[in-house]
Amino acid sequence: MIIEFAFTGDTTHRLWKRYDQNSDTFNLNPVVQPNGSTAFVDTGTRPYNNFLHGMLTSSTRASANFTGGSVKVEKGAKNGFFFLGSYQWSKNLDNNSGEVEANDTALSQNFNFDHSYSRFDVRNRAVISGGYELPFGKGKAFAQTGIGNAILGGWTVQPAIRLQTGFPLTISASGGNFCTYCPQRASLAVGRTSGHLANPSPFHWLDATAFVSPGSTGAFNNQGTLTRNTERGPGTPAVDFSAIKNIHIYERVTAQFRAEAFNAINRAIFGNPGTNISTPSTFGVISSTSGTAADNRSLQLAMKVLW
């Protein structure tokens, strides 16, 4: 039996980050809006007023850091049984992951405003796998010869369970026209700290009442004060199962038959919900299963020859 504890830390500087150099400038002291929330007010001016938005620039002003603690328990084969289990708690922060999507730079005057959980941050992840060599066939307790050995011998079953929390989500709004390829963030409603629900469902994953639009000042749209990746999507529980039969052919030649089921219990692995508060009909609603975190149940049969 091997038990391992580990701590991992990493920090990275001078990463690439894209921004619009001619974005509108904002009052970086949040101003209370008529609905009681706060917003960064658009001044209606640009650094180069003779030119339009769209001076897209890549700068090495981004950074990231990672911290994680993990524990691993491994049991070598004994009486045909073996297993490996691991758990990791971690936190990955940055201000640039997802920059080519709607998670681009929100305030060109303040890159630190985007410093939050990375797009791929997973707070908790556990994997438990193992195997058991069935006690049938040559050298085992039962069915050592004949037809029993041919049918029952050489089998190993291997289950695996994967559990992890969801990926971060950014709450956005629509209507911002203060820069090119940059998002408009939402603001928190008065007295609210998050849109987390105690018992979320695919039809109601986020509390819409926790967020409001940052509004506008005259002809100009304001920027919300809620930073990126403040909410979480659904987690990923999945159970895989394999049945493997080794067939000894000649000396060092072995044929191996594998029957594998991924997400064997076919548990729904949901995608992320809608996160734009300007479209109430889809906000907080999950409309698909995930094609990245894990697939729906799939079966695979294979034959291998080892020598």
> What 3 state SS string does 138-200 have?
CCCCECCCHHHHHHHCCEEEEEEEEEECCCEECCEECCCCCCCCCCEECEECCCCCCCCCCCC
Return the structure tokens found at 269: 């692995």
pLDDT confidence of residue 149: 81
- Return left, alpha or beta for 104; rule: phi > 0 is left, psi -120 to 50 is alpha, else beta: beta
Per-residue pLDDT for 100 more than 80? no
Length of the chain, in residues: 307
What mean pLDDT comes out for the span 2-18?
Answer: 95
pLDDT for the residue 296:
77
pLDDT of 293 above 90? no
Backbone angles phi, psi at 68, to 5 degrees: -160, 145
Statement: residue 103 has pLDDT above 70 = no
H or E element that contains 13: strand 2-20
Q: Is the pLDDT of residue 288 over 90?
A: no
Burial of residue 263 (number of CB atoms within 10 Å: 0-12, 13-18, 19+): buried
Q: What is the pLDDT of residue 125?
A: 97
Averaged confidence pLDDT in the chain: 91
Q: Residue 292: pLDDT above 90?
A: no
Using 50, 70 and 90 to split pLDDT, how confident is the model at 294?
low
pLDDT at 250: 82
- pLDDT tens, 51-84? 999 999 989 999 999 999 999 999 988 888 999 9
DSSP letter at 273? P
pLDDT at 280 over 80: yes
Per-residue pLDDT band at 297 (split at 50, 70, 90):
confident
**208 — phi, psi (to 5°)?**
-65, -25
Tokens standing for residue 178: 């203060």
Residue spans of the domains in the chain: they are 2-306
**Rounded mean pLDDT, 26-31:** 95
Percent of the chain whose predicted confidence (pLDDT) is above 70 = 97
How many Cα neighbours within 13 Å face the side chain of 265?
10
Please name the residue that has the structure tokens 């971690």.
90
Query: Would you say residue 94 has pLDDT above 80?
Result: yes
Each residue of 201-256: pLDDT tens digit?
A: 999 999 999 999 998 888 899 999 999 999 999 998 889 999 999 888 887 898 99
Rounded CA-CA distance 209/168 in Å is: 19
| pLDDT category of residue 168 using cuts at 50, 70 and 90 | very high
Q: What is the mean pLDDT of residues 285-292?
A: 80
Concatenated DSSP letters of 58-124: EEEEEEEEEEEEEEEEEEEEETTEEEEEEEEEEEEEES-TTTTTTTS-S-TT-GGGG-EE-TT--SE
**In this structure, are residues 95 and 111 in contact, taking their beta carbons and an 8 Å threshold?**
yes
Q: Give 295-299 contacts, CB < 8 A, sequence gap 24+.
A: 295/262, 295/263, 295/269, 296/263, 296/266, 296/268, 296/269, 297/261, 297/262, 297/263, 297/264, 297/265, 297/266, 298/261, 298/262, 298/263, 299/259, 299/260, 299/261, 299/262
Predicted TM-score (pTM) of the model is: 0.83
pLDDT of residue 38: 95
- Token pair 């950074």 in the structure block, residue: 63
CA distance 125 to 166: 10
8 Å CB contact between 138 and 149: yes
